[in-house]
Structure 1
Amino acid sequence: MNKLLALAMILSSASSFASDSHWRVKFGGWSKHSDFTVYNIAKPNEDHRGLGIQYWEKSPKLNDYFDSTNFEVGGEAWYMKDSNNKDSLMLSTGIRLPYKTESLWPLTEASVVVGATYHYRSTMDVRYRTDTDQQTGEKYISYYETDISRRHLLTPMLMSTVTLFDTLDVDFTYIPSFFDQNGNIFFVRLGFPI
């Protein structure tokens, strides 16, 4: 955690001379898991106690190509406790498209981020056996064991953010079960620009 904060301070001071760039601090992280076979046995952690930093700067090449002034490129470092309550680190890079709203107060900005994320996190492996109740014919789990292992993952990223009062970011991410062996995840966290 201290290394992440030190990295953020170094990067912030190094980029303070760059025009059209900005930083955002992210914190918290709450999730809702669904369709989790694994977590029918073990309840997932859904309060992630995360902390991270984002850096964005205008992209002249993308803005010229799309005849726009809004595209930004950047990245993020994010630490949290994952669904198994183990340390998790994510490094992301992507393209951000912010849209300023003037008539929807208190909503002052909405943005979409598309990119890729490297994850170093834990996964829960469950081995179980099902049997059939001889009287009712219903299946039930008669035996199970769990094992937590570490994994390196590279996944696509799609995140939307709304900014309220120019000061409070609310990030929304949906991770379909295709990218995580354990099911669908809806994730939200907070942040603020610095």
Structure 2
Amino acid sequence: MSLEQVADDITDEARARADEIRAEAEERAAEIISEADVDAEEINDSRAAEVDRQIEQQREQALSSAKLEAKQQRLEARRDVLGDVYDAIEDALIALPDDKREELTRSLLDAAAEEFDDGADVSVYGRADDEQLITSILSEYDGFSYGGPRECLGGVVVESETSRVRVNNTFDSILDSVWDEHLKELSAHLFEQ
């Protein structure tokens, strides 16, 4: 065997070994690329799931916030309506016809007078516009006198220094009491759903 043939055999062997190494390297590269593709897919899926979760969370927060805002607006609108109803009642009480105002004032004064001893010096206060009405009614009561105006819609505030009793029978106090007592019913009636 000649030197040339030995060199050719070594070269062939080296080429075969190189081809084998290249094939192994390509196979390993394909495995690495395949693993990288799987990792990339997993990362992509994970990120997509995270983005979907964040989008859903933000959507739920926005929806919750919108519901809360709508509820607050409904409550505010209801408060406004109830305020308008209350104001309308106050206006109706101020505009009562004279005979009805006198009837109610007498009734409220009679109820208050029961709280005082006979012969007690009693002062009666009322709406400035009702002074004449109150003084005319007081002529029927011994020891009762007009004490001056009070800021109210009507009715009377009756008090005595000697017995330290004070009765607030104004339209305002009665309206507030009735309003508080029946507000739930009124709301249910006004805002039936």
Identify the TM-score tier after normalising by the shorter chain.
under 0.3
TM-score (normalised: structure 2): 0.22
Q: Which has the higher strand share?
A: 1
Q: Which has the higher contact order (CA 8 A, sep 6+)?
A: 1
Q: Which has the higher helix share?
A: 2
